[in-house]
Amino acid sequence: MSISRPGPWKKKNRGCRRKNKLKYKSLEQLFRQTASRLSLSSCPFLEARLLIQKAAGWDESEFFRQLDSPVRPVLVRKLETLVRRRLSGWPVAYLLGRKEFWSLEFKVNRLVLIPRPETELVVEKVLSLPLPDECRLLDVGTGCGNLAVALAREKPLARVVAADISRRALKLAAENARKNRVKNITFVHSDLLEYFIKRKLQFEAIVSNPPYVSESDWEKLDPPVRDFEPKRALVAGPTGLEIIARLVSQADRCLRPGGFLVFEFGAGQEKEIFKLFGPGWSRPEITKDYSGQPRVMSARKTTESESRPAG
């Protein structure tokens, strides 16, 4: 849900500043008032706690230990900056500089998309596939590295490659791999699969959460998404299918026979995506998200024996 923008901030005189210092008798009072200010959010008390923890540099347990303690003015000032940004539409993840995905914590900034819960379906699908333990996995458009790191953690013997067209995104993804103590990942600068096609590299599985929003749909996105998350990582082009079409076409050259392509897509795109898979593919399948909407497409590249005409 979008959050309304507050009116212009007016400077207070010194007397008012002194009064502000006495305004909160305890952290609990500050916490409740902050939650009240964030009441248009879907989770005001959670957001209030997270922003206070960010301003104070506390973890959750320290926050609850401090509830009855007096509030320092420096905490009030830092929190006020965060709350004003939140009220102006900033996503909480960007304010905190982190987001949880697959029970792992990832650093995020405005150069990369914020990981969504539904993208975990890509991880679940890959883990359900008949892949060898020492398979080669490629994450295309890795962003903050959430898919690559999650898969590398779940498949420690796999050789995971994370690719992105943004070098700054790759730097952040590498930092997240170190943060989550994952070592079986290599980071490659590539425009989709161009790097791998030139070198004739192939994988048992290719995964992606590609841009799939159309230009017209981008205008309709919630302001926190449209105004703060990187448009390049969201918008594919006029139809929204431009990047997925390239991905499917290129994946045919980068998958080993019997390999799998798994990717996320947008609402209502499944029929057009099915048309992208030619005779070299078998078993295209759709996985629905938690709201029952088609969300993840998986397809297997046929083997030589399957492609050979019968008889």
Q: In three state form, how does the secondary structure of 199-215 look? A: CCCCEEEEEECCCCEEH
pLDDT score, position 14: 40
Domain ranges for the chain:
14-89, 101-307
* pLDDT score of 307: 61
Residue 110: which of 219, 224, 222 has the closest Cα? 224
Topology agreement, domain 14-89 and domain 101-307: no
C-alpha distances out from residue 270 to 72, 217, 238, 294, Å: 54, 16, 17, 7
Nearest to 139 by CA among 98, 187, 180: 187
Phi, psi at residue 206, to the nearest 5°? -125, 130
Would you state the pLDDT for residue 33? 96
Q: What separation, in Å, do the N-terminal and C-terminal C-alpha atoms of the chain show?
A: 59
SS3 assignment, position 263: strand
Return per-residue pLDDT of the chain as tens, 311 residues.
Answer: 333 333 333 333 343 343 444 467 899 999 999 999 999 999 999 999 999 999 999 999 999 999 999 999 999 999 999 999 999 999 999 999 999 999 999 999 999 999 999 999 999 999 999 999 999 999 999 999 999 999 999 999 999 999 999 999 999 999 999 999 999 999 999 999 999 999 999 999 999 999 999 999 999 999 999 999 999 999 999 999 999 999 999 999 999 999 999 999 999 999 999 999 998 998 799 999 999 999 999 999 998 776 665 55
pLDDT of residue 228: 97
301: three-class secondary structure by DSSP: strand
pLDDT tens digits along 211-239: 999 999 999 999 999 999 999 999 999 99
What's the CATH class of domain 14-89?
Answer: mainly alpha
pLDDT digits (tens, 9 = 90+) for 139-193: 999 999 999 999 999 999 999 999 999 999 999 999 999 999 999 999 999 999 9
Please provide the CATH number assigned to the domain covering 101-307: 3.40.50.150
Q: What is the pLDDT of residue 303?
A: 83
Spatial CB neighbours of 11, under 8 Å, sequence gap ≥ 6: none
